[in-house]
Amino acid sequence: MVITEADADSRLVTEINAEPAAAEYCRLLGLDPDQLDPHTFAAHPLVLQVGGVPYARSIQRVNDDLSLSFFCSVDEGVVLSGTEAQDLVASLAHTFSQVRDKLGRLQLVLGCDCILRRIMISNTAAQSRLSALLVQNRVVGFNTYGEQFNAMHVNQTFTGIAIGYAAGPSATHGAG
């Protein structure tokens, strides 16, 4: 879908493919306009491809004029793709496994989790799975409205700083 009318400074998209933004978003993703709420936006993010890497461009709300307010800047002429969110608990578990492979047992992870991920799993069975995973990996932190990665504001991300025990015998024997 091509953003054909937008105000990047106010993070407002008024047209997609020369149609009212919300109506076209619904048409392209096969959604009912009555379903447009934070849960739907979190489950159906739009993605910008830059150098083959996908970056979520998350919608905050639909406005009365069928424009869409985004959590990040979106420019006219940008091409976005629709997608469905993946199992974020499985993805995060895999990431923690990779981090533990490098750092050993984790002492602490200071995490910044985009609020849209929390919205997506709220009131689902995944919420308790995610909570258990965060406790297991000693995560403390807060929800954000996305993160800055190089020059790009990204949404629906989990970023953090992981502190592990030194590699070697203490990492495998649980001493710290």
How large is the angle between the packed helices 125-136 and 88-103, nearest 10 degrees? 10
pLDDT of residue 168: 53
**Residue 102 three-state SS:** helix
Q: What is the pLDDT of residue 175?
A: 41
pLDDT value for 54: 84
pTM of the model: 0.74
Mapping DSSP to helix (H, G, I), strand (E, B) and coil, where does residue 131 land?
helix
Please report, for residues 75, 76, 106, 123, 137, the alpha-carbon distance to residue 11 in angstroms, rounded to integers and kept in the order given.
8, 11, 38, 28, 35
Q: Where are the alpha helices (DSSP H) in 31-87?
A: 38-43
Contacts of 98 (CB under 8 A, 6+ apart): none
| Pair of tokens at residue 103 | 């750092």
Cβ-in-10-Å burial (0-12, 13-18, 19+) of 59 comes to buried
- Give the Cα separation of 54 and 173 in Å (integer): 39
Burial (CB count <10 Å: 0-12, 13-18, 19+), residue 37: exposed
Q: Are 108 and 140 in contact (CB under 8 A)?
A: yes
Q: In this predicted structure, what is the pLDDT of residue 166?
A: 64
Confidence at residue 87, expressed as pLDDT on a 0 to 100 scale: 85
Say how many C-beta atoms besides its own lie within 10 A of residue 42's C-beta: 23
User: Which amino acid appears at position 20 of this protein?
Assistant: P
- For the chain, which ranges sit under pLDDT 70? 85, 166-176
